[in-house]
Amino acid sequence: MNLKLFITIFIVIFIAGCGIFKSAEDLYLEAEAKRNSGNSKEALELLRKITNKFSDHDKASKAQYLIAEIYYRDLRDFSKAINEYENLKQKYPESPQVPFSLFMQGFIYANMLSNFEKARNYYEEFLNKFSNHELAQSVTFELKYLGLEVQDIPELKHLIK
């Protein structure tokens, strides 16, 4: 085998291994697998590839939402999660994930950061934009009892023994 052919084959294999030729779907599936096996940071890298390289693909908004979820649920970086949910709303305003992002911003401010004023702002924005959404009832509940401890919420007293 001549040297040129060998180098060409090596370069093609190397590039393919780097994920350059992977589809948005392939990258998303790989990111989910990485996250499920505890490799959140590697999953984030793959998801960012989707949002950067395939920004017009329907997987891009899902990838952006999953980025925010990883920061919230896996890495417990609440400020970064809020920013990533905001990125979704800004970059993909028509995405079906936008109401969930808006809800999560309010939820994090209320329940993780105890910033009830910001939580109220996000919850009210949610109700103004998505009053018929499946989460509207949850948002109304959150607003009604914003700032109260679980033991002070009549509907939840049965959970405390």
Which of left, alpha, beta for 153 (phi over 0: left; psi -120 to 50: alpha)?
beta
Instruction: Tell me whether residue 93 is in a domain.
Output: yes
Instruction: Tell me whether residue 7 is in a domain.
Output: no
Instruction: Tell me whether residue 140 is in a domain.
Output: yes
Residue 107 has pLDDT above 70, yes or no: yes
Instruction: Tell me whether residue 42 is in a domain.
Output: yes
Give dist(CA 122, CA 103) in Å, integer: 7
Residue 3 has pLDDT above 70, yes or no: no
pTM of the model: 0.84
CATH number at residue 115: 1.25.40.10
Tokens of 109: 């401010």
Instruction: Tell me whether residue 158 is in a domain.
Output: no
Could you tell me the pLDDT band of residue 152, with boundaries at 50, 70 and 90?
Answer: confident
Instruction: Tell me whether residue 38 is in a domain.
Output: yes
The model's pLDDT over 134-148, given as tens digits with 9 standing for 90+, comes to: 999 999 999 999 998
- Provide the residue range defining the domain that includes 73: 33-147
The model's pLDDT over 108-130, given as tens digits with 9 standing for 90+, comes to: 999 999 999 999 999 999 999 99
Instruction: Tell me whether residue 152 is in a domain.
Output: no
What is the pLDDT, as a whole number, of residue 50? 97
Lowest model confidence (mean pLDDT) among 19-23, 77-81, 132-136: 19-23
Contact 47, 31 (CB under 8 A): yes
Instruction: Tell me whether residue 60 is in a domain.
Output: yes
State the total domains in the chain.
1
